[in-house]
Structure 1
Amino acid sequence: MNYAHNILETIGNTPLVRLNELTNEIEALVLAKVESFNPGNSVKDRMAIKMIEDAETSGLLKPGGTIIEGTSGNTGMGLALGAIVKGYRLVCVINDKQSKEKIDILRAVGAEVVVCPTNVEPQDPRSYYSVSKRLAEETPNSWYVNQYDNLANTAAHYEQTGPEIWEQTDGKITHFVVGVGTGGTISGVGRFLKEKNPRIKVWGIDTYGSVFKKYHETGVFDENEIYPYITEGIGEDILPKNVDFSVIDGFTKVTDKDAAIYTRKLARQEGIFAGNSAGAAVKGLLQLKEHFKKDDIVVVLFHDHGSRYVAKMFNDDWMRDRGFLESDIKTAADLVSRQEEGELITVKTEELVMHAVERMKKYDISQLPIVDSEGFVGSIDESDLFKAWMDDKNVVDKPIKDFMQAPYPVVNEYTSIENISKLINKKNKAVLINAGNGKYRIITKHDIISAL
């Protein structure tokens, strides 16, 4: 009979799959190492078990102990498999940028999950680096994994992933491309491949908000490059010991938007339901295409499975809220359809300034059309009222007509967003839309920005 004695024995030997549609601009053969075939659905299974076994051998992890780690989710899953089979308690510290699915999955496999804020410095006591270390210090019989600086991470890929890729390509691989986070995958695979053939090029995929690319090119750790980003699984605001820059030939950076879009394209055009960093890797491949020749064999590694991003990159509303989907708002009618139904709020020429202020406060608006018996004759903006009040504190008791500006332009509902946008400027803060049947709607700069 052919069977595994436990789930850990199924880790590795993941397939290489040719990419066809997304890489048709590239003459080389592009093969994806699809790591979601591991039992924990990610490449991190490999290094998680290697780190546990090394800690057991060295005596750092004792029977019945507690494993503590800061993780983006995937390493936590690999550690959870090891903890289940080997009988350990697991505490995962995760930042709030990670998808809800990752947190739910960790809890489903018995991990205790502590969620920390993303937008803090690594040294901040609230960061997931700091919280992980503190918990390890406070918890008896515990072991802090520290996947960033634990070199068993790199060793796992030197011993497993690199040899698999070499054998699967019959040693013909010419380029290896992979997203860089902790650095274990690119460093371990890269070192193995370059020992086999020094001509093999190793490329890292980085993200905007991360320090890797500039540090590799200049040796400068530029804190100005560090800012929050959406892409999961790659990029860092620290320099992990597992990142061996000497085996990396170069980096290319991919935007959050491109990473998300290509994650979706990978599922729809190649049938590979992979995670966010895989989308970044595909876009990075296309950015690097001038480096690949016709007879080259390019291997790109896909870290994890798309099921962990269903509420994010694979959700249209989430994508649209971040401006990652092309807007379907093209005309004035599209814009006003997003507004709640209601009468246009106006003020009459003979009303007092206080009436305009009360209306702005009641309806939480900043612009008001001014009307008389003939129709629209003027407009007033909160900045106009503020300036008037600064000049005369008794302005609230004066008629609004004394302070009104030119009336807002009126356009029909078929006017394009582009033309409406051109009408809004420093002097003119809004546009009125003639919706027919004597009804008008107002469009401001805020409406346009919110819609797009």
Structure 2
Amino acid sequence: MDFCNSILETIGNTPLVKLHRVTAGLPCPVLAKVEFFNPGNSIKDRMALKMVEVAEEKGLLKPGGTIIEGTSGNTGMGLALAAVVKGYKCIFATTDKQSKEKVDILKAVGAEVIVCPTNVEPEDPRSYYSVAARLAKEIPNSYYMNQYDNLANRDAHYEQTGPEIWKQTDGKVTHLVVATGTGGTITGTGKYLKEKNPDIQLWAIDSYGSLLKKFHETGELDMSEVYPYITEGIGEDFVPQNYDMSLIDHFEKVTDKDGAVMARRISKEEGIFVGYSAGSAIAGLQQLKSRLKPTDLVVVIFHDHGSRYVGKVYNDQWMMERGFLDVKTVKDVVNARRNQPLVTIGPEDKVSDVIVKMKKYDIEHIPVLHNNEIIGAISENGLFIRLIDDANLKDAHVKQVMQPAFPEVRMDTPIEKLSVYINKENGAVLTKDDSGNYHIVTKYDIIQALGN
């Protein structure tokens, strides 16, 4: 029989997948090391298990003990899996910028999660670094893994990830691209690869708001480089001990928007449902394409799975609120008309009045307004059918022929989603601006918006 004794035996030996569409324009092949094939759906499974094993060997983690860690989510998942199999408890401190999905997943595998503020200094007692360190001192028979300064982190990648890439590329890899945070992946993997071929380039992808790039280039810990950013899992406001900066050839910064947009592109265009940092890694590689030659072979680490980010990167509303999603919304349609006042009709008005207004304003749809509330609608097509059957209806009151009110949508609704509301039976929707004024959006408005 062919089976694993526990889920931990499935860690590693992840595939390399050639990219096509998102790397168009690059002069050389690009292979993605797809790490969400690990059981915890991220590359962090490798170093998490290694840190646990080293702690056990050194007698730092004893039977029935508690694993404590500060994590953005993925390391916690790896540690939690190891804890389940080996019989430990887990308490994790994380930041409030991490996705809700990450927190929920950690809880699902039995961990206790403490959410801490993001925008505080590492030394602040409220930071997730400080909280994790404090808990380790207060809780008996516990051990703080400290992935940032625990060198078992980079050792895992020296022993596993580096050899895998070397073997999978038959030693032809020329560049390794890693969106980097703790430094373990790029340092451990890179050290192994450079031992095999010193000419291999290590490119680290950093985030604006992180000090790593400046430190690599100058050796200066410049806190003026540090400010809040949205990208998860990469960048730092200090330099973890896992880094060996002498191994890294270049740091490249990527914006929050470019990383998020590229992550969505990878999922849609390559069929690989990736996390935020994979988007940053490919966006950074695109920024560096002028440095590549046709004879090069690039390997990019895809750290984790897109399921960690369905409430953020893969949520249209979240993306639009941050200006990351370049889609036209109902608000764009309304603004394009320069906020022209809505033409309405009253329920006691005559149908003949409706016809006059439709001709005067060259419109097909008129909401019926009563006591400042929309109570119905008149559409040219529906009115035409009624008048053909009975020409005398032009003297009837609007309330006798009106249809149900047009559906109401939010101003930030993408126009692509209006097809749910606008169809053969219903030709328009209504929306309210911040001042409480109604506006109408018709099929014609949508066609105009999509055509521009």
Query: TM-score, normalised to structure 1's length?
Result: 0.74
1:149 to partner: Cα distance:
0.1
Of 70-79 and 321-330, more deviation after overlay is shown by 321-330
8 Å CA contact 2:342–2:438 kept in 1: the answer is: no
Q: 1:25 maps to which residue? A: 25
Which one-letter code corresponds to 1:92 in the other structure?
Answer: F
Q: 2:177 maps to which residue? A: 177
Is 1:302 matched with 2:308? Answer: no
Segments ≥4 residues shifted beyond 6 Å: 335-342, 440-443
Q: CA RMSD in A?
A: 2.1
Counterparts of 1:406-445 in structure 2 under 5 Å?
Answer: none
Change (3 A) 1:130 1:172: same
Using the alignment, how far apart are the partners of 1:266 and 1:313 within structure 2?
Answer: 12
> CA deviation digits over 1:17-66, x for unaligned, max 9?
00000111111110000000000000000000000000000000001000
Using the alignment, how far apart are the partners of 1:82 and 1:51 within structure 2?
Answer: 10
Change (3 A) 1:339 1:120: farther
Change (3 A) 1:290 1:83: same
2:134 is paired with a residue whose SS is helix
1:330 to partner: Cα distance:
3.9
Counterparts of 1:146-157 in structure 2 under 5 Å?
Answer: 146-157=146-157
Using the alignment, how far apart are the partners of 1:42 and 1:297 within structure 2?
Answer: 23
1:4 is paired with a residue whose SS is coil
8 Å CA contact 1:136–1:143 kept in 2: the answer is: yes
Using the alignment, how far apart are the partners of 2:115 and 2:438 within structure 1?
Answer: 43
Which one-letter code corresponds to 1:265 in the other structure?
Answer: R
Change (3 A) 1:145 1:294: same
Q: 1:253 maps to which residue? A: 253
Q: 2:58 maps to which residue? A: 58
1:292 to partner: Cα distance:
1.2
Is 1:81 matched with 2:84? Answer: no
1:336 to partner: Cα distance:
7.8
Q: 2:161 maps to which residue? A: 161
How many matched pairs? 346
Q: 1:387 maps to which residue? A: none
Q: 1:228 maps to which residue? A: 228
Using the alignment, how far apart are the partners of 2:333 and 2:267 within structure 1?
Answer: 32
2:265 is paired with a residue whose SS is helix
Counterparts of 1:399-410 in structure 2 under 5 Å?
Answer: none
Which one-letter code corresponds to 1:16 in the other structure?
Answer: L
> CA deviation digits over 1:157-214, x for unaligned, max 9?
0000000000000000000000110000000000000000000000000000001111
1:152 to partner: Cα distance:
0.2
1:253 is paired with a residue whose SS is strand
Using the alignment, how far apart are the partners of 2:85 and 2:167 within structure 1?
Answer: 30
Identity %: 65
8 Å CA contact 1:336–1:441 kept in 2: the answer is: no
1:17 is paired with a residue whose SS is strand
> CA deviation digits over 1:221-261, x for unaligned, max 9?
11011011000010000100001101100010000000110
Q: 1:311 maps to which residue? A: 311
Q: 2:132 maps to which residue? A: 132
Query: TM-score, normalised to structure 2's length?
Result: 0.74
Using the alignment, how far apart are the partners of 1:55 and 1:68 within structure 2?
Answer: 12
Using the alignment, how far apart are the partners of 2:69 and 2:94 within structure 1?
Answer: 9
1:341 to partner: Cα distance:
12
8 Å CA contact 1:204–1:251 kept in 2: the answer is: yes
Which one-letter code corresponds to 1:209 in the other structure?
Answer: G
Change (3 A) 1:118 1:340: farther
Counterparts of 1:167-246 in structure 2 under 5 Å?
Answer: 167-246=167-246
> CA deviation digits over 1:268-296, x for unaligned, max 9?
00101010000000101101111211011
Counterparts of 1:7-46 in structure 2 under 5 Å?
Answer: 7-46=7-46
1:332 to partner: Cα distance:
4.6
Q: 1:67 maps to which residue? A: 67
Change (3 A) 1:341 1:116: farther
2:286 is paired with a residue whose SS is helix
Using the alignment, how far apart are the partners of 1:264 and 1:148 within structure 2?
Answer: 29
Change (3 A) 1:5 1:320: same
Change (3 A) 1:141 1:24: same
2:167 is paired with a residue whose SS is helix
Change (3 A) 1:442 1:70: same
> CA deviation digits over 1:408-428, x for unaligned, max 9?
xxxxxxxxxxxxxxxxxxxxx
Which one-letter code corresponds to 2:313 in the other structure?
Answer: M
